[in-house]
Amino acid sequence: MSIKAFVVDDSAVVRKFLSDTLIAGGIEVVGTASDPLFAWPKMEANWPDVLVLDVEMPRMDGITFLKKVMSERPTPVVMCSTLTEKGCETTLQALAAGAVSFVTKPKMGLKDFLEDRGNGLVDAVRAASRANLRALSGRAVAGRPGAPGLRVAPAPVRPMASAPLRPSSASGAMAETTDRVVAIGISTGGVQSIEVVLRQLDRTAPGIVMVQHMPERFTASFAARLNTVCDMEVLEARDGDRVINGRVLIAPGGKHMTLKRSGAQYVVEVRDGPLINHHRPSVDVLFRSVAACAGRNAIGLIMTGMGDDGARGLRDMHQTGAYTAAQDEASCVVFGMPAEAIKLGAHDDIVPLSEVAGWIRQTAARPLRRS
């Protein structure tokens, strides 16, 4: 069955190119409109599977329309916004309000972007069509730090690989320290999901290094927004930043982030590099560096997201002695990355979103695995 999409954008040129791109990708475009007031009656006549929605439009902005859609007839929404400071902030508000994902339109070179069949729109719409909207709508935080009742689904016992990954040198993983570091990989559906987790953690929690798939500029706004609502300090990572208790370092969009040792401390390295698994930053890049640098001192978690980025890196962490978990299918917006990790046997536990923070706290208190 084909996916039905509806495009709302105030530019006729943009509507045409987005529609052509979707049609070329095998997606049926059932209608377009220049603003939400024109869109609603058209959508009622033939309701789409996915709505592609501009952020800034006359008469009614994208956020207001998104909230109307989600309250009256919940439908997967892909936001289409510009790479501007205002566009980034508004898009994050949309994701927090229930949008599944977003595609960024450059302020300059828009024509080239629109004509590029690989601009990510088709993949975003396909992923959105499979989104679990019940997970998106059920983001109430269950519990607070120290809340009892954690129920973690144990993974089936699997034999370890015959040749587990080892750190690249004897000085790689810090076997003599008890400092823990938490590595998280997350993508589609992550804006709401990670807020649920971080709101339940306080400044006694181990330092967290995280990749959320986002382009440049978005991660700075994302980190700043989380920093205002969480007890933990949340920062867009800079090269050389220390990983310390109570701090979350988010890989900047357009850069890879790796974990390194600096004496008895952990620091991050932020650098350029090729796309890995179609992403920069890549979860696999982060997880593999954590496996090599922190070994069994690490805790790894892979959460909602499309594709398989991070699955092999989480397996590397698991094989070096880290405790690892995958978010469960019922609470994922898109059960892609966790599903691939589970297929590889990269996890110790499968955890619902509401209990991820408790799992992190309990795991950080567990003794290190024997080497």
How far is it, in rounded angstroms, from Cα 133 to Cα 131?
Answer: 6
Which helix (H) or strand (E) segment holds residue 259: the answer is strand 256-262
| Pairing mode, strands 153-154 and 349-351 | antiparallel
Encoded tokens for 187: 């993508």
SS3 223: helix
371 is catalytic: no
Selected catalytic residue, list 19, 213, 289, 331 = 213
331 is catalytic: no
Q: Is 294 exposed, middle or buried (0-12, 13-18, 19+ CB in 10 A)?
A: buried
Judge if the upstream peptide bond of residue 281 is cis by omega within 30 degrees of 0. yes
CB 131 within 8 A of CB 189: yes
309 is catalytic: yes
Paired strand residues for 8? 33, 53
CB 290 within 8 A of CB 298: yes
**Residue holding tokens 């919940």?**
74
∠ CA(99), CA(101), CA(107), 5° rounding? Answer: 110
Paired strand residues for 364? none
* Spatial CA neighbour of 286 closest among 237, 230, 351, 348: 237
Encoded tokens for 145: 């730090």
Q: Which amino acid is at 300?
A: G
CB 185 within 8 A of CB 287: yes
SS3 150: coil
Encoded tokens for 210: 């995280």
Q: How far is CA 156 from CA 94, 160, 345, in A?
A: 38, 12, 9
Selected catalytic residue, list 129, 187, 193, 354 = 187
* Spatial CA neighbour of 233 closest among 241, 223, 242: 223
Give me the phi and psi of 266, to 5 degrees please: -100, 135
Catalytic residues: 187, 213, 309
